[in-house]
């Protein structure tokens, strides 16, 4: 395995279950989903009072990227790293308009500053590199903010968000990848007090397709539905993993299954959003 993305995360998770090590030595590419997924595995280790080892990539370029994304300060909390990582003497590069560093979402009293950082950087990325208009950006940021806040309100555990812009060769356009994850109670447990659910996939689809919420209040639970509408409008990809299942909205330009069951059990919720650059002919205004 030489990439760590959503497509290879299941293999990484399986190896975590079977071994005391996560071997990343041959990794030549890692995206926000891969990094945030590793950190959530680390959160699970901490909950179980287990210390496992990450064998770091041999690639100097990947190591520099992990450092640029502020991966190491979080990873050192929950993993032993081999070889021991020494920060670059030049320090981390200044803030960039093509990424949002791995940002923890943990305490209710600092959620506004976290969401503000997400909002500021996401707006720069979406406007400059994807050419989204003001109305589209505002709709996305409101929805993304609610997802981040839901980690505090519903997950009962720490979460992370990370964003990165890439060039997608087969599409011939820029894309932005957004990963938002927690290792909390997940959809099924969150919704089970109000709904009779068959399995994890049923719970995800109730929230994603029908706006279900564990709250009976009218107007609650629409954050995820807003994300779904936004992603569909702009021909993006959205996938949600929780427990042992994943549901996804897959555009024609991408790949992946719309439903997956019987995955390796993993707590919480893992959301991956991929948004493509807007061409002039795509504009809806």
Report pLDDT digits (tens) over 71-123: 999 999 999 999 987 766 555 555 677 788 998 888 766 667 777 777 788 88
* Domain 1-84 classification at class level: alpha beta
Confidence of residue 282 (pLDDT cuts 50, 70, 90): low
Start and end residues for every CATH 3.30.750.24 domain found in the chain: 1-84
Is 96-285 in CATH node 3.30.565.10? yes
Q: What average pLDDT does range 204-229 have in this prediction?
A: 69
pLDDT at 220: 47
Average pLDDT of the chain to the nearest whole number: 85
pLDDT in tens, 123-182: 888 888 999 988 888 878 877 877 887 777 767 778 999 999 999 888 889 999 999 999
Q: What average pLDDT does range 198-226 have in this prediction?
A: 72
Count Cβ atoms below 10 Å from residue 127 Cβ, excluding itself: 15
Task: Report the alpha-carbon distance of residue 115 to residue 112 in Å, rounded.
Answer: 5
Confidence of residue 60 (pLDDT cuts 50, 70, 90): very high
pLDDT at 269: 92
Judge whether 65 and 32 are in contact, CB under 8 Å: no
Start and end residues for every CATH 3.30.565.10 domain found in the chain: 96-285
pLDDT at 281: 54
SS3 state at 5: coil
Instruction: Calculate what percentage of the chain has a pLDDT beyond 70.
Output: 86
Residues 6+ apart with CB under 8 A from 62: 27, 28, 29, 30
pLDDT at 280: 59
* Element holding 98 (H helix, E strand): none
Question: Which of 50, 41, 56 has its CA nearest to residue 11?
Answer: 41
């Amino acid at each position: 395995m030489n990439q760590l993305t959503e497509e290879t995360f299941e293999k990484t998770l399986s190896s975590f279950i079977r071994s005391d090590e996560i071997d990343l030595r041959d990794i030549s590419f890692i995206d926000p989903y891969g990094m945030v997924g590793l950190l959530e595995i680390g959160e699970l280790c901490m909950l179980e009072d287990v210390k496992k080892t990450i064998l770091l990539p041999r690639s100097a370029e990947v190591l520099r990227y992990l450092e640029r994304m502020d991966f190491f300060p979080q990873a050192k909390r929950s993993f032993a790293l081999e070889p021991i990582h020494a920060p670059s003497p030049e320090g981390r590069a200044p803030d960039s308009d093509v990424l949002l560093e791995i940002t923890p979402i943990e305490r209710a009293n600092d959620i506004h500053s976290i969401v503000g950082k997400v909002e500021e950087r996401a707006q720069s990325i979406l406007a400059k590199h994807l050419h989204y208009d003001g109305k589209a950006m505002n709709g996305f940021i409101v929805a993304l903010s609610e997802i981040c806040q839901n980690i505090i309100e519903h997950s009962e555990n720490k979460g992370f968000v990370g964003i990165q812009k890439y060039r997608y060769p087969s599409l011939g356009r820029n894309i932005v990848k957004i990963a938002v994850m927690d290792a909390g109670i997940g959809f099924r447990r969150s919704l089970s007090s109000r709904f009779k659910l068959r399995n994890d996939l049923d719970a995800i689809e109730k929230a994603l397709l029908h706006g279900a919420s564990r709250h009976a209040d009218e107007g609650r639970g629409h954050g995820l539905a807003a994300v779904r509408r936004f992603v569909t409008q702009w021909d993006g990809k959205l996938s949600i993993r929780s427990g042992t299942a994943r549901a996804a909205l897959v555009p024609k330009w991408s790949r992946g299954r719309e439903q997956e069951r019987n995955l390796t059990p993993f707590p919480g919720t893992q959301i991956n959003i991929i948004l493509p650059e807007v061409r002039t002919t795509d504009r809806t205004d």
